[in-house]
A and B are shown apart, each in its own frame.
Chain A
Amino acid sequence: DTAVSQTPKYLVTQMGNDKSIKCEQNLGHDTMYWYKQDSKKFLKIMFSYNNKELIINETVPNRFSPKSPDKAHLNLHINSLELGDSAVYFCASSQDRRPETQYFGPGTRLLVL
C-alpha cells in the first residue's frame, strides 16, 4: 500500500503548455511538501502546506501554483512550461512539521521540449 503516491510518474510536454502533478498520502500526516530536483541532483523545497494552509513558499516563479484540497492531497499546477522546468518533482509528507517523519513520494519526471 503506497504511502505517498504521485501521478503521473512521467510527463513529457511542449514549452508553453500547462500541466498538473497530483500527490496523495495515506499516512495520516498533516503536512505536505513539493520539492524540485534538478539534473545535478540538487533537491530544493518549493512549497509546504500544513492542514491545507500554505506555510512555506520559496522563491518560485508564480507560474507554479500549489493547491491542497485536503490534508491528504497536494497538487502542483505549472503554467506556461519552460525548458528550465525540466526536473524531477517530489512530493513529501510529514506529521506536525517534524522533519524526521518526512517521507518522499516516488517523484514525477517532467521533461519540457
Chain B
Amino acid sequence: QKEVEQNSGPLSVPEGAIASLNCTYSDRGSQSFFWYRQYSGKSPELIMFIYSNGDKEDGRFTAQLNKASQYVSLLIRDSQPSDSATYLCAVNRNQGGKLIFGQGTELSVKP
C-alpha cells in the first residue's frame, strides 16, 4: 500500500464546473497535508495546506481534511483552463519537513 494515494486521472471537467481531487494516506501519524499544483515542465507550487479536520478555503480553492477516514481533498470552484495541471497531494509526519507525495492527479479543464 502506498503511503499517499491519488487517482492519476486524467480528470476532465468543463470550464466553470467544480473540480474535486481526492487523496488518501495510510499513516495516522500524519500531521499536515498539502496540495501542490505542477504545470507541465515546471516545478511544484504550493496552493493549500491544512492541519485540522474540516474545511479551509482560499479563493476558489477549498481543502477538506477528515483524519478519521484518512482522507484529504481539494475542491476547485469555477474551474478555468489555466487550472489544467497535475495536482500533487503530500503529507508530513513532522519529520524534519519531509513531505511524502502521492503520484498526482492530472486535471484538464475544457473551455
Contact = CB atoms under 8 A, between A and B. Distances in A.
Interface of A: 31, 33, 40-45, 48, 50, 55-56, 90, 94, 97-100, 102-107
B80 to A, nearest CB: 22
A106 B104 CA distance: 18
Contacts of A42: 101, 103-104
B49 interface: yes
Contacts of B88: 41, 43
A43 B44 contact: yes
A40 B95 CA distance: 25
A41 B103 contact: yes
25 contacts: A31-B96, A31-B97, A33-B97, A41-B38, A41-B103, A42-B104, A44-B101, A45-B98, A45-B99, A45-B100, A48-B97, A55-B96, A56-B97, A90-B43, A90-B44, A94-B97, A99-B90, A99-B99, A100-B34, A100-B46, A100-B49, A102-B97, A104-B44, A106-B42, A107-B42
Where chain A touches its partner, the secondary structure class is strand
B86 interface: yes
B97 A105 contact: no
B43 A106 contact: yes
A27 B60 CA distance: 28
B22 interface: no
Contacts of B44: 43, 90, 104
Contacts of B101: 42-44
Nearest first, the 7 closest Cβ-Cβ pairs linking A and B are A97-B97, A104-B43, A43-B101, A55-B96, A99-B92, A100-B49, A41-B104
Contacts of B78: none
B32 interface: yes
A33 B43 CA distance: 14
Nearest to A55: B96
Given A90-B44, A105-B43, A97 B99 contact: no
Contacts of B92: 99
